């Protein structure tokens, strides 16, 4: 676990400069990407997160400190697409793809659900799965809980054959549900899953594939879901919408076409191996004036190298939709991408997060949050990352970011890259009643501590401190002076830091790690033994 204790400097947020929110590094272990996060509304100090492939993060103090471990599944394995949700009892669920070893030839052959009744400290093993339909493959799942009855609803994409260009193969949006806390999944008569889309896609896992199904629950138990796909193959792409008013047993005879998605959902962003603009669906079930509003958030292209964050709303259960609103108001041709949305179901406030390059040059990237208090009629924006980072196309960022909020306590989650090191990040936005942000006395000197344990295999912890805001570089070298890893390479606030370094990709031997910050420079030796 990497811990970060900072003296909070409260600046007024502007379009340039530092964010006003404390950034917390959740973890650097296992090259994290594609993060998910969820607050327990019954205990706002309890926050659980996850990241590819199997990382679990949990916090008991509202996200200031985190513990990380690897999720295991003895029956169906653990693969990507982590989705963390919480039910009305305060039980967390970790949905993910399978990596089955007991069924030779199968890979992402089912959607797996593992449950925690102790705030994410542990999850049941192996849990359950929603659907098994070999040789078809199941991908890109998301889940939601109906607070009226604790039902769990899951939607995802089924591939006849993942990645194939065979036009006889298709992709479809499936639905499943559990009425007993994830123990079992309802059988709809032809298996445990129901197809809900009318117009299928191909299986290439690009624009012509139907993907991005994120379900939402309405105030009367309605189930809403939107996804991206082709209206006309290879030429017109858009956002489709469907709904159920009987707990998923039946759906609309014809999907509702919400909006065009110029360029499709799969697009290229400089420095990113792969990006996408697949939609997120939310519904306001608070007691506020916008109760029942349905919202869809996605990204698409307004021109070459100019992707924007889009938003549409419906005030009549998804039958009609507003014209797409561009959330980012930067008036530049710079990129915005990897968006996610949530609704604070206590206040009705809408939050949308995304990567943004309006204030940078090249591929340097900030992380932004947009907020609407009027049901999505308008948004205000602010940068929430404390500094920019530069992604590399050789490093996979996954397919999404995430955000969770309840009663003004907001915890976004995103990935940043410093050198060759990926980090899972959050920001402290709002605090539970009675909780104060911890403030520590600033260190009086620069210090680089000896790693612990030493020798190590394969993870060791490195602590360091800086007495003032400064740029910090910490790099690892082998015996002949070759750089093998970059741990830190960014501007840091004054404070104490802790970094988990993994030598999983290195060979047994002696290594050196060197810290440089201003005029300070120090080198330590460590030993990896496998």
Do the beta carbons of residue 225 and residue 242 sit within 8 Å? Answer: yes
pLDDT surpasses 50 at 8: no
State mean pLDDT over 163-181. 95
- State the Cα–Cα distance between residues 402 and 445, nearest whole angstrom: 37
- State the Cα–Cα distance between residues 399 and 415, nearest whole angstrom: 11
pLDDT computed for residue 5 by the predictor: 31
- State the Cα–Cα distance between residues 503 and 300, nearest whole angstrom: 39
pLDDT computed for residue 305 by the predictor: 77
Do the beta carbons of residue 127 and residue 112 sit within 8 Å? Answer: yes
State mean pLDDT over 317-330. 97
* Confidence tier at 15 by pLDDT (50, 70, 90): very low
- State the Cα–Cα distance between residues 213 and 224, nearest whole angstrom: 10
Tell the residue number behind the tokens 């993907």, with chain if given.
211
Handedness of CA 297, 399, 420, 27 (dihedral sign): positive
Do the beta carbons of residue 517 and residue 472 sit within 8 Å? Answer: yes
- State the Cα–Cα distance between residues 46 and 189, nearest whole angstrom: 38
384: CB partners within 8 A, 6+ apart = 19, 21, 23, 353, 367, 368, 369, 412, 427, 429
pLDDT surpasses 90 at 56: yes
State mean pLDDT over 158-174. 94
* Confidence tier at 4 by pLDDT (50, 70, 90): very low
* Confidence tier at 298 by pLDDT (50, 70, 90): very high
pLDDT digits (tens, 9 = 90+) for 441-458: 778 999 999 999 999 998
State mean pLDDT over 91-97. 98
pLDDT surpasses 70 at 342: yes
- State the Cα–Cα distance between residues 208 and 422, nearest whole angstrom: 31
* Confidence tier at 439 by pLDDT (50, 70, 90): low
Global pTM reads 0.84
Tell the residue number behind the tokens 């679990």, with chain if given.
56
- State the Cα–Cα distance between residues 39 and 47, nearest whole angstrom: 5
* DSSP 8-state code for residue 482: -
Handedness of CA 143, 57, 470, 9 (dihedral sign): positive
Do the beta carbons of residue 307 and residue 301 sit within 8 Å? Answer: yes
pLDDT computed for residue 192 by the predictor: 82
pLDDT computed for residue 103 by the predictor: 56
The structural domains of the chain, ordered by start, are 21-427 (2.120.10.10), 447-528 (2.60.40.1930)
Give the chain's mean pLDDT: 91
- Burial string for 203-217 (b: 16+ CB within 10 Å, else e) reads bbbbbbbbbbbbbbb
342: CB partners within 8 A, 6+ apart = 282, 350, 351, 403, 404, 405
Integer CA distances (angstroms), 492 to 357, 433, 465, in order: 20, 29, 10
For the CA atoms of 393, 394, 400, 403, the dihedral, rounded to the nearest 10 degrees, stands at -90
Comparing 498 with 275, the larger pLDDT belongs to: 275
pLDDT computed for residue 28 by the predictor: 86
State mean pLDDT over 278-283. 98
Show the tokens assigned to 449.
Answer: 């501590």
* Confidence tier at 321 by pLDDT (50, 70, 90): very high
Comparing 509 with 303, the larger pLDDT belongs to: 509
pLDDT computed for residue 427 by the predictor: 97
State mean pLDDT over 473-486. 94
Find the range with the poorest average confidence among 29-33, 363-367, 435-439. 435-439
pLDDT surpasses 60 at 438: yes
The percentage of the chain sitting over the pLDDT mark of 90, rounded to a whole number, equals: 79
pLDDT surpasses 50 at 295: yes
State mean pLDDT over 119-139. 95
pLDDT surpasses 60 at 6: no
Backbone φ and ψ for 408, nearest 5 degrees, come out as 85, -5
3-class DSSP state of 328: coil
State mean pLDDT over 139-143. 97
Show the tokens assigned to 328.
Answer: 């980012």
* Confidence tier at 440 by pLDDT (50, 70, 90): low
């Amino acid at each position: 676990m990497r811990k970060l204790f900072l003296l909070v400097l409260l600046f007024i947020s502007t379009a340039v400069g530092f964010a006003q929110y404390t950034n917390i590094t959740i973890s650097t272990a296992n090259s994290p990407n594609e993060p998910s996060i969820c607050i327990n509304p019954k205990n706002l100090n309890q926050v659980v997160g996850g990241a590819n492939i199997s990382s679990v993060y949990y916090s008991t103090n509202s996200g200031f400190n985190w513990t990380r471990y690897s999720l295991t599944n003895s029956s169906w394995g653990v693969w990507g697409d982590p989705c963390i949700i919480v039910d009305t009892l305060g039980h967390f669920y970790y949905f993910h793809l399978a990596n089955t070893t007991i069924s030779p030839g199968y890979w992402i052959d089912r959607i797996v659900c593992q449950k925690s009744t102790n705030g994410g400290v542990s999850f049941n093993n192996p849990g359950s799965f929603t659907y098994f339909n070999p040789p078809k493959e199941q991908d890109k799942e998301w889940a939601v809980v109906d607070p009226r009855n604790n039902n769990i609803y899951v939607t995802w994409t089924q591939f006849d054959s993942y990645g194939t260009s065979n036009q006889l193969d298709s992709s479809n949006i499936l639905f499943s549900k559990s009425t007993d806390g994830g123990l079992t999944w309802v059988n709809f008569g032809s298996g445990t899953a129901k197809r809900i889309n009318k117009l299928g896609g191909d299986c290439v896992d690009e624009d012509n594939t139907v993907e991005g199904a994120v379900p939402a629950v309405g105030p009367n138990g309605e189930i809403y879901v939107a996804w991206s796909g082709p209206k006309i193959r290879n030429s017109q792409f858009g956002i489709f919408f469907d709904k159920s008013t009987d707990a998923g047993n039946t759906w609309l005879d014809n999907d509702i076409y919400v909006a065009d998605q110029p360029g499709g959902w799969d697009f290229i962003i400089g420095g990113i191996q792969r990006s996408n603009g697949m939609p997120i669906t939310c519904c306001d079930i608070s007691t506020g004036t916008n109760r029942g509003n349905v919202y869809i958030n996605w990204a698409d292209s307004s021109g070459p190298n100019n992707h924007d964050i889009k938003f549409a709303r419906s005030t009549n259960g998804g039958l009609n939709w507003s014209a797409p609103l561009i959330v980012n108001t930067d008036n530049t041709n710079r990129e915005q991408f990897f968006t996610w949305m949530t609704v604070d179901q206590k206040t009705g406030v809408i939050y949308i997060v995304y990567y943004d390059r309006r204030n940078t040059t090249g591929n340097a990237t900030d992380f932004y949050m947009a907020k609407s208090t009027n049901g999505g009629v308008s948004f205000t924006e602010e940068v929430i990352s404390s500094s920019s980072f530069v992604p590399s196309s050789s490093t996979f960022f996954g397919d999404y970011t995430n955000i969770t909020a309840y009663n003004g306590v907001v915890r976004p989650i995103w990935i940043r890259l410093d050198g060759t090191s990926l980090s899972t990040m959050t920001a402290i936005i709002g605090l539970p009643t009675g909780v104060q942000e911890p403030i520590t006395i600033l260190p009086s000197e620069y210090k680089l501590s000896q790693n612990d344990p030493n020798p190590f295999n394969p993870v060791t912890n490195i602590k360091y401190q800086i007495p003032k805001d400064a740029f910090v570089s910490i790099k690892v070298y082998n015996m002949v002076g070759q750089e093998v890893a970059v741990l830190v390479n960014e501007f840091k606030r004054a404070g104490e830091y802790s970094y988990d370094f993994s030598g999983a990709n290195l060979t047994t031997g002696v290594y050196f790690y060197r810290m440089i910050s201003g005029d300070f420079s120090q080198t330590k030796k460590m030993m990896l033994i496998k």
